Structure 1
Amino acid sequence: MMNVAAGLRSSEMELLRAVSSDYERLYCNNCKTSIVDLHRVCPKCSYELCLTCCWEIRGKCLRGGDKMVQRYLDRGKAYLHGGEPLSLDKEKNKTSSRKHVKLPSEWQVKGNGDIPCPVEKLGGCGHKCLELKCMLPANWVSMLKIKAERLVKLHKLDNGLGTLTGHCSCLFDNEIGVVNDAIQEHGSKERLYSPLAKDLQQGDLEHFQWHWIKGEPVIVRNVHELTSGLSWEPMVLWRAFRDVSNKKGSSNVNVRAIDCLDLCEVELNIHKFFMGYLEGCVHSNSWPQILKLKDWPPSNHFEELLPRHCAEFVSSLPFLEYTNPFSGILNMAAKLPANILKPDLGPKTYIAYGFVEELGRGDSVTKLHFDMSDAVNVLVHSAEVIHTSDQLADIEILKMRHVRQDQMELYGNYRDSNLPLEEQVGMDFWPKHLKMIGITSKKEVNPCQCSDSTTKLLMKTLGFQNEENSKLDKESNGRIKEAHISDTSFSNMHFPNGWDEDSCLLMKGQVDADVMVKVVKSPKRKSRTRKKKVKSCQTSLLVQNKEELEVGESNRKIYKTHSDKAIDACLTNEASGGGALWDIFRRQDVPKLEEYLRKHHREFRHVYCSPVDQVVHPIHDQTFYLNMHHKRKLKEEFGVEPWTIIQKLGEAIFIPAGCPHQVRNLKSCTKVALDFVSPENIHECIRLTEEFRVLPHEHRSKEDKLEVKKMMLHALKYAVEELEKLTA
């Protein structure tokens, strides 16, 4: 290999070893990619630059150093449910923007090929030239490659990840569990492999690999039946955590959670959180309050804080050749030496409330994203919260307000529209155009037979009486909240027995956004009341899945996708244990999926229910959840649809690296996940690392946490040593 700067081969150079600890990760200061071996470093300020950035500087095309600030506007509490937004300062109420720091013209390669340290505003000192250094011993990598090639020839090893031939028995065996039929472009039906855990035999590993190498998810059912039966009940977890914490002298019983409606962070007592998990929690207007625990227990301390549960989880995992985090023969992450700092691959818990029907706002969702590696996710506990018919009716009316607000923001003020009133508010609001495909009661309320309270709420929904909005606006203080929320009240929330306001104090310092967040305040405004006569209060309550209604010029139709079938199945005896709804997309569909999201991004909402004004990366941003309406449009416009899976209790879902996916909880759920790195998907891990590299600095997905290249080298070293033992 030639040295670009001096025209020398690396074997002719005497490189200095960089000083670093085994328990230290080295990252490029520009692109945040992990450094495995060769890199450049400033002898004065220790600024470090990876070789890829060096090549790009020489080519005058440096990437990965942009900066970005995403702004979200707090438009008041009323806005969250379709009310009027607080008036905002015109200068501050601008579209969210990215600020880029471009490569300065002075950061150029010198005449002799040297790269100077960057200026101070880019993190360097601007004085010295960067020196080439190495992390590994001289020629370590090249010698390892020579050994590997020799062993491959000696043992006549073929490419174990080559093209698969033949057919899988899933295509012909009706007894194999099938989650859904995915229709390929050529029209054939593709079945997902979903065996029972107790039926897995030695030969099933090859069956698993047949699907896994094709980038297909796999579902293994009833993994909990092969364990000791340790309870994952919320109160059991709480007591186990409390006992360990007390032994360590810790008295902190508060946890951080994310409110799914505005994606802001709250702090509350862990016991109170679990009470809401079991009994439910609602706002004063009957809208469900959905909370998700944030990093509890911390994944890097899961084994320490819940040792019995950690051991139980690992023992329940199928295909331990891949999933065992300590000794999995095909888990490349398990090949890192004990004296090297390892990436945090879990296990980690995901505990959140849920709601069976798609709400549209505040759903218990994990938004569309990539995992940095392969993953297996097990549903270990679920709890169904019963909602009253009155609450469900209130929810339906609030959803109509959301529809009206969406139409106003996307297509202009509804008062300027020539459409009939029912189409201004939302075609799915009016019973003469409805087909009931609901999850709950299908009872309709006859025209003008609503109760007084229902009639008043209906009129508020239509925007004719805006007293509720004005009241909520008065409660909003409108102070500037930059990168945090400091004083929002929970006075409009109803808590189950034993709850109080003090247990739900909003935490300072955090908003769960994908980038650096600036939330712009808005001044208080005077309350306003609008009144207008209504000729009829004709309505239909408890209408479900309204997103599936399609408007035509002369009629309205309802279409059902695979997702509709999945939701319907959730109500049958066969799928009554369903706790979470998964949508997993194929790798080959990613370009079309990204194109769809860029095209329709304004139709989605994120922090404070604000529309998504900008897209850095449609999937890495983690700002989109495709509801049934968008999944239908995605199929119509681009011919793309996901694998849709209802995860039941005790089911382990294997998600291949490179497959974007999203999850919605149908019930309160406790899931435990573990990341692993399989040889079949290592190329996807590398591809994702390259995508992370060019993201702006403050992006949530920016950091290379996996260090996959380091993992590959140590896995190759392990394989060479094992083969040499066999040869000896």
Structure 2
Amino acid sequence: ERQLQPCTSHKHAPQCITCLYSQSSDTCRFQEIRFFCQNKDGKIIGFFFQEDRDPETLSIDWPENWNVTLSATHIQELKKTAVGALLPILRAELAHITNCDFIPIYRPRETQVRATCDGCMTSIFVCSWMCRCCCQEVCNECFEDLKELVSERPGDTSHDTIDDFVPVTRFTKSELENTVQDMCVLLGHESVGDSGLPTALINSEVMYSHGEAETSTMEPPSHEIRRFSAEDLTEDIFRPLWAKGDPLLVTDVGARFKVPWNPCYFIDTYGSQRCEVIECQQGRTRDTTVREFFEQFGSNHEREECWKLKDWPPSSDFEMEFPQLFQDFNAAVPMPNYVRRDGVLNLASHFPLNTIVPDLGPKMYNAYANLTDRDSKGTTQLHMDMSDALNIMTYASLDSENKDGRAVWDLFRAQDSNKIRRFLRAKFPKNSGDPIHGQEVYLDDNARRDLWTEHGVKSYRVYQTPGDAIFIPAGCVHQVRNLSDCIKVAIDFVSPENIKQCEKLTQEFRQENTRIPWKEDVLQLRTMMWFAWLSCCRQEKLAASRK
């Protein structure tokens, strides 16, 4: 008999960790995958799990529409990107279920919960192991760590033994074999570079040199960011520059907005909403209203604290919460094929609509001025994002000298991140964990000068004004300090060019989670790539059937 109810309905059977600890945010782990053996009296005398079987026809609500027509060219590019990222790990999964001493357990891919490793909170896609007694599931890396821990503590029976863990898969063997074959056929003789992009595209990059930005004699040197007006930046210009992994600045985006994204609008429209704000220097939080927060805009000379309303709305979907702003944002963004949720070149746009879709925004970042550079923690401390991002400033009050408001950004090249880590560990030895992902540091002018002198690393120093949009590649370390009260809106996206960086960051975040519980892998990069592959294959078949 298959278990169709949660473990709590079967009191004489081993309980999964979800039912055992009443984790309401998760579903019963054993439900639908465990089978009971019963005697003639109906008493449970044992259990087993189903092995490889034909894939179930899951009710998947695939996206059907994008910002523009999903062309055959788009489909081929996205499929080749998926192949570069997925082919090695799908081969590893095939070995995982065929070259093992245990018969693997098959479980359907989850749609209502996000499958994550119980050890490091990284999303699970392939090569995982499950405990038959409690249904705890761990990634292969955590399983290897567990084996090492058990070998160091022989005779410890306080936990499930390593022998209780068996390989688990969300693929059938035939599905894996057919997909690997299809991917190899797609590649043919075309080599794929490390980024997952076809070599032909990588070699077509236009190389640009970066001069020195104009800086005062007091500031350390910086790179000069490439600047374009919103009207002049085309996809043909953008793509080779973006493939280099450097940030870009787009001006005159503000003219595209129809809604006034200013304090008066938010006071009039959402003033009664409750919200939580955080003080940027000390990390204190307090509850307030949208009206109270925005009414203080423009009075920076009267206050000493720097309060920030970040990630707004914090949990609800931006489109549902602010439909007018969402439509206005979609119509205004530069490079919509990349940036929009439904952008044809945004790999996240292929996530099924009835699954746990990553919340990539938009989100608003509203904060008061932070007037002190020395010993400041900035408005947003040094960090890097897990995916690509676009940040647009929609409003800034006059600064303390009644000049046009702005925010100052420092953006560092992804290839300089390890040098920055070495510098931070030496300069701030008391900080634990990854000095970038810990988000505990803001580099003032003196620190940036030391970074340049000691390691030859300089930032792109950018002064963002209303209407300016900054493209931030995945893996690009950056920090921000508002020089006046600012309203910004940002969105994350996943471009074909930066899959390698996203994968690297996923592993770095995993390492941070093994030290302390930090953050869940909400991006689900490999699952995203798999859905993009399936979605594109589906669209390809639909197009062929219409001919």
Q: TM-score, normalised by structure 2?
A: 0.73
Partner of 2:139: 50
| Matched letter for residue 133 of structure 1 | V
- Work out the CA distance in 2 between the residues paired with 1:180 and 1:726: 49
Q: Secondary structure at the match of 1:673?
A: strand
| 1:372-419 C-alpha deviation (Å, 9 max, x unpaired) | 100000001111254xxxxxxxxxxxxxxxxxxxxxxxxxxxxxxxxx
Quote how far apart the aligned CAs of 1:263 are.
1.2
Q: State whether structure 2 residue 269 is matched by structure 1 residue 240.
A: yes
SS of corresponding position for 1:690:
helix
Other-structure match for 2:414: 587
Equivalenced residues, count: 445
Determine which of 290, 295, 299 is the counterpart of 1:279: 299
Query: Which letter does structure 2 place at the counterpart of 1:365?
Result: T
Q: How does 1:551-590 map to 2 (within 5 A)?
A: 577-590=404-417
2:393 to 357, 379, 394: 379
Q: 1:581–1:384: structure 2 CA closer, same or farther, 3 Å change rule?
A: same
Find out whether 1:596 has 2:423 as its counterpart.
yes
* 1:263 matched residue in structure 2: 283
Cα 1:196/1:631, change in 2 over 3 Å: same
Query: Residue type of the partner of 2:105?
Result: L
Of residues 365, 374, 383, the one that matches 2:379 is 365
The reply on whether 1:351 has 2:168 as its aligned counterpart is no
| Partner SS for 1:295 | strand
1:348/1:265 Cα in 2 relative to 1: closer, same or farther (>3 Å)? same
User: 1:640–1:154: structure 2 CA closer, same or farther, 3 Å change rule?
Assistant: closer
Give distance in 2, aligned partners of 1:189 and 1:695.
Answer: 30
Letter matched to residue 340 of structure 1: T
State the Cα distance separating 1:208 from its structure 2 match: 0.9
Question: In the alignment, what sits opposite 1:24?
Answer: 113
Q: Show CA shifts across 1:556-612 (max 9, x none).
A: xxxxxxxxxxxxxxx9xxxx645111101112211111111011116xxxxxxxxxx
- The answer as to whether partners of 2:370 and 2:379 remain within 8 angstroms in 1 is no
Q: Which runs of 5+ in 1 are unaligned?
A: 61-102, 111-117, 172-177, 183-187, 243-251, 387-439, 441-570, 603-612
In 2, distance between residues paired with 1:268 and 1:145?
54
8 Å CA contact 1:593–1:634 kept in 2: the answer is yes
What's the offset of the Cα at 1:3?
9.4
Give the CA deviation at 1:255. 1.9
1:336-356 per-residue CA deviation (whole Å, 9 max, x = no partner) reads 122221111000010110145
Separation of aligned partners in 2, 1:354 and 1:189:
23
Contact 2:378 2:479 in 1 (8 A): no
Between the aligned partners of 1:130 and 1:276, the Cα distance in structure 2 is 57
**C-alpha deviation, 1:325, in angstroms:** 0.6
Q: Mapping of 1:295-374 within 5 angstroms?
A: 295-298=311-314, 300-326=316-342, 328-358=343-373, 360-361=375-376, 364-374=378-388
Match among 642, 649, 669 for residue 459 of structure 2: 642
Answer yes or no: is the 8 Å Cα contact 2:223–2:460 preserved in 1. no
1:290-310, Cα deviation, whole Å (9 max, x unpaired): 101143322542222211111
Any stretches of 5+ residues in structure 2 without a counterpart?
A: 1-90, 193-197, 216-220
| 1:224 aligned onto 2:254 | yes
When residues 385 and 6 of structure 1 are mapped into structure 2, their CA distance, relative to the original with a 3 A threshold, is closer
Q: How does 1:454-469 map to 2 (within 5 A)?
A: none
Change (3 A) 1:282 1:215: same
> Following TM superposition, by how much is the alpha carbon of 1:717 offset from its aligned partner in structure 2, in angstroms?
2.5
Specify the alignment match of 1:712 in structure 2: 529
Distance 1:128 1:54, change over 3 A: closer
Q: How many angstroms apart in 1 are the aligned matches of 2:427 and 2:222?
A: 29
Tell me the equivalent position of 2:479.
662
Determine which structure has greater relative contact order: mean sequence separation of CA pairs < 8 Å that are 6+ residues apart, divided by chain length.
1
Indicate which of 487, 490, 497 corresponds to 1:673. Answer: 490
| Identity across matched positions, percent | 30
Inter-partner Cα distance in structure 2 for 1:4 and 1:20: 16
Distance 2:283 2:480 in 1: 16
Greater CA drift, 156-165 or 308-317: 156-165
SS at match of 2:297: helix
Cα displacement (A) at 1:725: 6.0
Spell out the pairing of 1:55-204 with structure 2 (5 A cutoff): 55-58=144-147, 60=148, 103=149, 105=151, 125-126=160-161, 129-153=164-188, 158-164=198-204, 166-168=206-208, 180=213, 191-200=224-233, 204=234
Structure 1 CA distance for aligned equivalents of residues 517 and 266 of structure 2: 29
Q: Structure 1 residues 374 and 257, CA, compared in 2 at 3 Å: closer, same or farther?
A: same
CA contact (8 A) 1:44 1:128 kept: no
Larger Rg: 1
